[in-house]
């Protein structure tokens, strides 16, 4: 079973993501912010990080950069966002973001992206 670290500052959205991913056969570790996510990565092996872009403190791009800085593992980072700004995407790619998914998204679209990133 593949493990996803879901990072989302909204409790409701985090619970919905977690339920969806579990229903699709993934194990899910939940984090409410980037600091919790980084702590979880020290304790648990994960196959992919799914993070919101806009969060208090460290945003999703900064989280990807910090993950790349702290670990030699190439953990895919998928960022969910409502922003389709090319500048933000360029910054994300430079920071180590593996993929983007625009909100709102369909469950099948999300799981297809996750499986593609995990399998690549």
Give domain limits for the chain. 3-106
- 3-106: which CATH topology? Rossmann fold (3.40.50)
Of 95, 42, 114, nearest to 71 (Cα)? 42
> Per-residue pLDDT tens for 11-38?
999 999 999 999 999 999 999 999 999 9
Average pLDDT, the chain: 95
Whole-angstrom distance, CA of residue 102 vs CA of residue 119:
21
pLDDT for 51 equals 98
Tokens of 71: 């670990």
Q: What does pTM read for this prediction?
A: 0.95
Cβ proximity of 94 and 64 under 8 Å = no
Locate the DSSP E strands across 17-114: 27-31, 48-52, 77-81, 99-102
Strands ordered across the beta sheet of 48-52: 27-31, 3-7, 48-52, 77-81, 99-102
pLDDT tens-digit readout, 61-106: 999 999 999 987 899 999 999 888 889 999 999 999 999 999 989 9
Q: Are 97 and 68 in contact (CB under 8 A)?
A: no
């Amino acid at each position: 079973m593949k493990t996803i670290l879901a990072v989302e500052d909204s409790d409701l959205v985090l619970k919905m993501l977690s339920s969806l991913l579990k229903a699709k056969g993934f194990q899910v570790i939940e984090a409410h912010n980037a600091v919790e996510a980084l702590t979880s990565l020290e304790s648990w092996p994960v196959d992919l990080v799914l993070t919101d872009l806009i969060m208090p403190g460290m945003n999703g791009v900064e989280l990807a950069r910090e993950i790349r800085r702290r670990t030699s593992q190439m953990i895919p980072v998928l960022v969910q966002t409502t922003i389709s700004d090319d500048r933000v995407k360029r910054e994300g790619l430079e920071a180590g973001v593996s993929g983007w998914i625009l909100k709102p998204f369909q469950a099948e679209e999300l799981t297809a992206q996750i499986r593609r990133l995990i399998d690549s």
